[in-house]
Chain A
Amino acid sequence: MSDVRVDVAVDVAVVGAGIVGCAVARELSGTGLSVALLEARDDVGDATSKANTAILHTGFDATPGTLEARLVRRGYDLLSSYAVDAGIPVERVGAVLVAWDDEQLDALPKLHAKAVANGYLRGELVDAAEVYRRLPHLGPGALGGLVIPDESIVCSWTSALAFATEAVHRGTTLLLGRRVTGVDVGADATVLRTSAGDVTTRWVVNAAGLGADTIDRLLGHDRFTVVPRRGELLVFDKLARRLVDHIVLPVPTARGKGVLVSPTIYGNVMLGPTSEDIEDRRDTSTTEAGLAFLLGKGRALVPDLLDEEVTAAYAGLRAATEHADYVVDLDAVQRYVVLGGIRSTGLTASMALAEHVAGLLAAHGVDTAPRGGLPPVPRMPTIGEAFPRPYADAARIAQDPEYGRVVCFCERVTRGEIRDALASTIPPSDVDGLRRRTRALMGRCQGFYCGAEVTRLLAAGAAGERS
């Protein structure tokens, strides 16, 4: 795609098609504005958004009064409701913060008070017996807990795809494989120089995640530096899912939320993340030390987990900055909005951030009133384990036998779903993209049985597209 140079002129250019950029493009293309969504990679949601812990946060533990606290809280409601319309899987599994020593036990009432200050009133302090009633497989030594019944798990992949798909249906020009290399701010228009053509735009929205500071500097600012914070994660086999029914959170420290154990929306169990500031913005390696640390944590948290197989080990990079809060600012002279330091809470806050950007633009005289005749919300394929999937849908198979043809056995992905993904509004560009759309190849065998067949279908689909 990126070998084709296309020059484009729009009202708003959103740089970065992660979860936040996709949400902003979706929001703004629902107005009278013309929108382009630029992404350096070949797919949406393909950098920091794809390796999120995928928790839909109530925002109970945010710092009260911050922009992050407000947008997470608002974003929770927006995304919860959008998820129902778009078919994004969400499971309200609830979280239990577990105290393992006296200091942590003393911190729980303060956290409870913080939740109240954040407007979250359903938190509940519980004793050790109640913790073990809710988490019978938890390791020994828990002293008490704080239950947050509304913390949820969500599919971050489907979220980004749904936003981007709806944005495209609303007329957004999606420009994949276009890295912004230069910015010329003129009196009436800004020209974004990219690796494949120029984009002329009136407004620029910088949602470039790990690259947000680089783009910001191209516009002459020096407000923040992104320090990639690497988080390594282990995903355990689906057979471990019975061991963990809620998100198990540690009592947070200054360095983030610490190591958690959580069910995943795909029916696995996730353990992580580690937290390590690194320099290389591409370095998503796992490490011997990181994996050993996680196994140690896992052994203490849920000992039986260690008897199960590890299905995946990966690392994500969080876009941390030196600022404690999100950096969101509008420069009226440059007609430029920056969204910096949107860390892992950005998944929850994404739709609220988009709404906030629209508000900032409106305050500067941009007409962001919704236009009529918008297409319906796209209905995304269901890849959540707790939701009806094609392989188990007798009526659907009777209508179309391709949904009865299981290709990826571990994840029970059918040929019909792979076909649909290849024919979708934003088709995958590679195996990872197909995995994020269908779950193909993300299971316990990692392609031992189906890897060759899935990659063949992907190649055949791409060939069909070309011909």
Chain B
Amino acid sequence: MTPGEVVADVVVVGAGPAGLTAARELARDRRVLVLDRESEAGGIPRHSDHLGYGVRDLRRVTSGPAYARRLVANALDAGAEVRTEATVTGWAGERVLEVTSPQGRLVVRGGAVLLATGARERPRPARLVPGDRPAGVLTTGLLQNLVHLQHRSPGRRAVVVGAELVSWSAVLTLREAGTETVLLATEHERGESYAAVRATARLALRVPVATCTRVVRVIGHDAVEGVELLDLRTGRRRVVACDTVVFTGDWIPDHELARLGGLDLDPATRGPRVDSALRTSAAGVLAAGNLVHPVDTADAAALDGRHVADQVRRWLDLGEPPPRGARIVAVEPFRWVAPSLLVPGAPAPARRRLLLWAEDSRLVPRVVARQDGREVGRRSLPWPVAPGRVFRVPWSLLERADPLGGDVTIGLL
């Protein structure tokens, strides 16, 4: 039995904010097919049932599920085809995908392929947290699926690991499910996320935050009974009783398809390496959203989708070879930078911003770019650097960098 074949101008993998927004833009003048493995399109916002979505792209404040529905409707209205329960399992050739769906095993051929597969939180094993393997250990994704999509309850007392934006999202979900968050534990010196969110959340939700604290053991054989915490400053250990542990943040891109396709990876983001036009090392394969910057907010991912649409058109019309240029490399206290390739003639990235992820806080950051042993750009920025969220730097920082030169490093003075 030979698989069925489907052809489209643009095949988008992943119906989250980035993929759906790109589909909407492109469907105006191209045949667009969006594939998503979930039974419902919309991506992560589907199960983040709280406000804060759509600010930068739709210019309104809405809830995650409403935002997801709107993005799906926009893509469909523009003429894109969105197929759910369609799992891309590998590549059958250049820009040709193997797909499993209830309609059959398909081969999907695209003039261009846009990867928008997003990112996931590292689960407990990937964080190497020892102990036994009781029930009650979750990620935010699993927690929100349980509570918002299936209306089931986790336990009564939860410890949330991490203090990023998503960690507070987990706290909100737990509260809605009737679970008390007894502690938020973060290894960083300060709670991550935006100060405004943090202060409001701390006051409104009355959740104690333990900083410089690592979870070093999950206790309980069949069900979680508690966690052992290590204070990284004093070396002291203590046990906090709980029946639920939620590991939040610590994102890793869902890069399986990118790697199976042999795309160059950025070792820092672990996503495919892209230039400011979101082009990968494979001709006609582009990547957008949290796959290339794990993670920024949903609206930022959506704006990536808008930005990449013109670049997809450009590929379809001109068929240029994959980008070559100088690598952009993050140095301390930054962990990664996106995009990470500086290419001659490429347009500025989405919102004309470089995105960086930091391991440390800095209230008044002075960002510096260096190339081949000399400084090529410097900016003092009025917004702080903080771990657990994206730090944005104007693209003009690199206007004097040479795309044909050596690595460009970006750090702080």
Residue ranges of A at the interface with B (Cβ–Cβ < 8 Å):
235, 239, 282-288, 290-291, 295, 307, 309-314, 391-395, 397-398, 401-402, 404-406, 409, 412, 414, 431, 444-449, 451-453, 455-456
Contacts and interface: CB of A to CB of B under 8 A. Distances in A.
Interface string B245-288: 00000001000100100000001000000000000000000000
A444 B133 CA distance: 16
Query: Which among A307, A409, A414, A448 has the highest number of chain B CB atoms within 10 Å?
Result: A448
B307 interface: no
Contact of B125 (A307, A310, A456): A310
B130 A288 contact: yes
A395 B4 CA distance: 12
A438 B103 CA distance: 22
Interface string B87-119: 101000000001011111100000000000000
Chain A binding surface, main DSSP class: mixed
Interface residues of B, number: 44
Nearest to A290: B130
A283 to B, nearest CB: 8
A451 B104 CA distance: 24
A446 B143 CA distance: 12
A239 B102 CA distance: 26
Contacts of A392: 89, 98, 100, 105
Contacts, number: 121
A447 B139 contact: yes
9 contacts: A239-B259, A283-B132, A309-B126, A310-B128, A391-B89, A409-B87, A447-B142, A449-B38, A455-B146
Contact of B141 (A287, A431, A449): A449
Given A284-B132, A398-B104, A412-B89, 8 more contacts: A284-B221, A285-B130, A313-B128, A391-B87, A394-B2, A402-B102, A409-B87, A446-B142
B145 A453 contact: yes
B187 interface: no
A313 B130 contact: yes
Interface string B117-151: 00011111110101111010011011001100110
A412 B150 contact: no
Contacts of A398: 1, 104
Contacts of B149: 452
Contacts of B152: 452
Contacts of A393: 105
Nearest to B146: A452
A115 B101 CA distance: 49
Contacts of A406: 37, 85, 87, 100
B105 A394 contact: yes
A397 B216 contact: no
Contact of A314 (B3, B85, B89, B133): B133
Closest 8 CB pairs of A and B: A446-B123, A452-B145, A401-B102, A448-B141, A394-B105, A406-B87, A451-B142, A404-B102
Given A311-B125, A409-B37, A448 B104 contact: no
B70 interface: no
B1 A448 contact: no
Interface string B1-26: 11100000000000000000000000
Contacts of A310: 125-126, 128
A309 B122 CA distance: 9
B335 interface: no
A286 B100 contact: no
Nearest to A311: B125
Nearest to B119: A448
Interface string B145-188: 11001101000000000000000000000000000000000000
B69 interface: no
B100 A404 contact: yes
Nearest to B150: A452
Contact of B120 (A239, A282, A414, A448): A448
B132 A288 contact: no
Contacts of A444: 123, 126
Contacts of A449: 38, 120, 141, 145
A447 B126 CA distance: 13
B353 interface: no
A285 B221 CA distance: 8
A406 to B, nearest CB: 4
A239 B256 contact: yes
B410 to A, nearest CB: 23
Given A313-B128, A404-B105, A412-B100, A448 B150 contact: no
A286 B124 CA distance: 12
Contact of B145 (A307, A405, A451): A451
B217 interface: yes
Contact of B103 (A401, A409, A446): A401
Contacts of B85: 404-406
A414 B87 CA distance: 11
B103 A448 contact: no
Nearest to A459: B152
Contacts of B89: 391-392, 412
Contacts of B105: 392-394, 397, 404
Contacts of B38: 449
B13 to A, nearest CB: 12
Interface string B51-69: 0000000000000000000
B105 to A, nearest CB: 4
A291 B150 contact: no
A230 to B, nearest CB: 11
B412 to A, nearest CB: 26
A391 B99 CA distance: 9
Contacts of B123: 444-448
Nearest to A239: B259
Contact of B124 (A283, A307, A446): A446
B274 to A, nearest CB: 19
Contacts of B150: 452-453, 456
B256 A288 contact: no
A374 to B, nearest CB: 34
A284 B133 contact: yes
B217 A288 contact: yes
Query: Which among A283, A313, A414, A455 has the highest number of chain B CB atoms within 10 Å?
Result: A313
Nearest to A285: B132
Given A310-B128, A391-B87, A404-B103, A288 B122 contact: no
Contact of B104 (A283, A286, A397): A397
A391 B106 CA distance: 11
A401 B128 CA distance: 38
Nearest to A295: B128
A392 B125 CA distance: 28
Query: Which among B101, B125, B128 has the highest number of chain A CB atoms within 10 Å?
Result: B125
Contacts of B141: 445, 448-449
A168 B125 CA distance: 36
A312 B125 contact: yes
Nearest to A294: B128
B130 A309 contact: no
Interface in B188-234: 216-217, 221
A100 B149 CA distance: 53
B65 to A, nearest CB: 15
